[in-house]
Chains A and B, each alone.
Chain A
Amino acid sequence: MAEIRINQVAKQFGDTHALHSIDLTIADQEFLVLLGASGCGKTTLLRIVAGLETASAGEVWIGDRRVDHLAPKDRGIAMVFQNYAVFPHLTVFENIAFGLRMAKLPQSEVEKRVNRTASLMHIENLLKRYSGQLSGGQRQRVAVARALATEPEVLLMDEPLSNLDALLRMEMRAELKTVLAESKTTTIYVTHDQVEAMSMADRIAVMNKGHIVQAASAVDVYRNPAAHFVGSFIGNPPMNFLDAKPLGDGWWDVAGTRVKGPVGGQYPALQLGIRPEDIVVHDAPSSAHPDSLSATVRVLEPLGSHLLASCKVDNQMLRVVLDSNASAKPGDQLHWSPVPDRIRWFDPATELALP
Chain B
Amino acid sequence: MSTAAKMATGNVTGKSAWHKYVFTGAVILLCLWVLVPIYLLLVNTFSSPEDVSGFPKSFIPNIDTGSVEFFLNYAGVGQALWSSIKVATVTMILSIMAGAPAGYALSRFEFRGKETFRVLVLMTRAFPLPLLALPLAVMYLRIGLDDTVLGLALVHTMLALPFAVLITFSLFSGIPVELEEAAWTLGCNRFQAFVKVILPLVLPGITASAIFAFVISWNEVFAAAVLTIENRTLPAFLLQGLGNAPLHLKFAGGAVLVLPALLFIFLVRKYLFSMWGIANR
A residues lining the B interface (CB < 8 Å) = 50-52, 71-73, 77-79, 81-83, 85, 87-89, 98-99, 102-103, 143, 146-147, 150, 156
Contacts and interface: CB of A to CB of B under 8 A. Distances in A.
A156 B197 CA distance: 21
Given A81-B181, A83-B176, A85-B178, A71 B200 contact: no
A81 B186 contact: no
Counting chain B residues whose Cβ lies within 8 A of the other chain, the interface size class is 10 to 19
A68 to B, nearest CB: 15
B267 to A, nearest CB: 21
Given A85-B178, A87-B197, A98 B185 contact: no
A103 B187 contact: yes
A216 B201 CA distance: 44
Given A87-B197, A102-B192, A50 B185 contact: yes
A99 B188 CA distance: 8
B179 A85 contact: yes
A52 B190 CA distance: 11
B120 interface: no
B176 A77 contact: no
Interface string B99-124: 00000000000000000000000000
4 nearest interchain CB pairs?
A: A102-B187, A99-B186, A85-B178, A85-B182
A143 B179 CA distance: 11
Q: Which label, helix, strand, loop or mixed, suits the secondary structure of the B interface?
A: helix
Contacts of A82: 178
B183 interface: yes
B140 interface: no
Interface in B153-191: 176, 178-179, 181-189
A89 to B, nearest CB: 5
Contacts, number: 61
Contacts of A143: 182
B181 A85 contact: yes
A128 B179 CA distance: 20
Contacts of B176: 83, 85
A46 to B, nearest CB: 11
Nearest to A77: B185
Contacts of B200: 89
8 contacts: A52-B185, A79-B182, A82-B178, A83-B178, A85-B181, A98-B196, A102-B187, A156-B185
Given A71-B189, A85-B178, A102-B192, A52 B197 contact: no
B186 A52 contact: no
Contacts of A83: 176, 178
B186 A146 contact: yes
Given A50-B185, A73-B189, A99-B187, A81 B197 contact: no
A79 B184 CA distance: 10
Given A83-B176, A83-B178, A87-B179, A78 B185 contact: yes
Nearest to B190: A71
A98 B195 CA distance: 13
A102 B191 CA distance: 13
Given A83-B176, A85-B179, A102-B192, A78 B201 contact: no
Contacts of A85: 176, 178-179, 181-182
Contacts of A81: 178, 181-182
Contacts of A50: 181, 185
Contacts of A103: 187
Contact of B187 (A73, A89, A156): A73
Contacts of A87: 179, 182-183, 197
Interface string B196-233: 11001100000000000000000000000000000000
A98 B179 CA distance: 12
Contacts of A147: 185
A116 to B, nearest CB: 17
Contacts of A78: 185-186
A102 B188 contact: yes
Nearest to A79: B185
Contacts of B197: 87, 89
A113 to B, nearest CB: 13
Contacts of B179: 85, 87-88
B186 A102 contact: yes
A140 to B, nearest CB: 13
Contacts of B185: 50-52, 72-73, 77-79, 147, 156
Given A78-B186, A82-B178, 7 more contacts: A52-B181, A73-B187, A85-B178, A87-B179, A87-B183, A102-B192, A146-B182
B201 A52 contact: no
B203 to A, nearest CB: 9
